Amino acid sequence: MTTHPFRQVDVFGSGPFTGNPVAVVLDAEGLTDEQMATISEWTNLSECTFVLPPTTPEADYRVRIFTLRKELPFAGHPTLGTARAWLDAGGVPRDPALVVQECGAGLVPVRREGGTLAFAAPPTVRSGPVDEAELARYRDELGLAPEDVVASRWVDNGPGWVGLLLRDAEAVLAIEPTVTAGERFIGVAGPHAPGGEAAIEVRAFFTGGDGPLREDPVTGSLNASLAQWLTEEGILAAPYVAAQGTAMGRAGRVTVDAADGELWIGGATDVAITGTIEA
């Protein structure tokens, strides 16, 4: 058994314990793939990350990201949570204003903006229209009628997201997902009335196999690819704020800004638990 520093970070919250927690195991050298998958599944959070030395001098650290037992090339709230945990544990980036993370999707810059962090939205690995048969299956699994979905698109930047745009935020909040079969990563968004704090309401559903769709409280990767889609189509313009987690009793807030030719996905990151883990 070896001892590793551990942090649990609340990401994208609008107050204490209102965002999405991520477990972060620091100094994770020596852990096997199986140990990482086992620890991730045991935490029972949407993601658990493991911090390792970088393999390139351009990065400040390398991270492996697991959702239960599956490893992901990229995920948003784990990116911000890992950066916060690394900084909290004494990590010093080469650039004081920027942390550079190495992950399965490559190098991801994370900006430090006071008490918040923001990552540059990575390019999608799959985009374009959704096959009608697949779209019908997703609608059925979410209890939606054909007229409920205004637009759809693949918005996959690593996990496998498909995006559905509904008529309004109320329709998003009314979704009651069902049991499904097979792997799913479904993101749903709907606009709020103009003039409010948040421009859109977002929900994220996923499963790695048979069983009910699980809901992720606040999702950075999905908000990143939704932002790329919706701003590209002129449906939204950055900067804006997305609300997520409302249906789960959370109050997640994700900021979307445009700068330096990038969309930056940001929010609050607060270390909630500090300790060690033995594996």
Catalytic site residues?
A: 47
Query: Is the Cβ–Cβ distance between 9 and 45 less than 8 Å?
Result: no
* Distance in angstroms (rounded) separating the CA atoms of residues 10 and 17: 6
Query: Is the Cβ–Cβ distance between 238 and 258 less than 8 Å?
Result: yes
* Distance in angstroms (rounded) separating the CA atoms of residues 35 and 112: 31
Q: Measure Cα distances from 220 to 12, 150, 181, 202, 270 in Å.
A: 8, 23, 25, 11, 15
Collapsing DSSP to helix, strand or coil, 138 comes out as helix
Cα 20 vs. chain centroid, distance in angstroms? 9
DSSP state letters, 230-269 = HHHTTS--SSEEEEE-GGGT--EEEEEEEETTEEEEEEEE
Query: Is the Cβ–Cβ distance between 189 and 220 less than 8 Å?
Result: no
- Report the DSSP pairing between strands 214-216 and 252-259: unpaired
* Distance in angstroms (rounded) separating the CA atoms of residues 221 and 158: 8
* Distance in angstroms (rounded) separating the CA atoms of residues 95 and 235: 35
Query: Is the Cβ–Cβ distance between 271 and 24 less than 8 Å?
Result: no
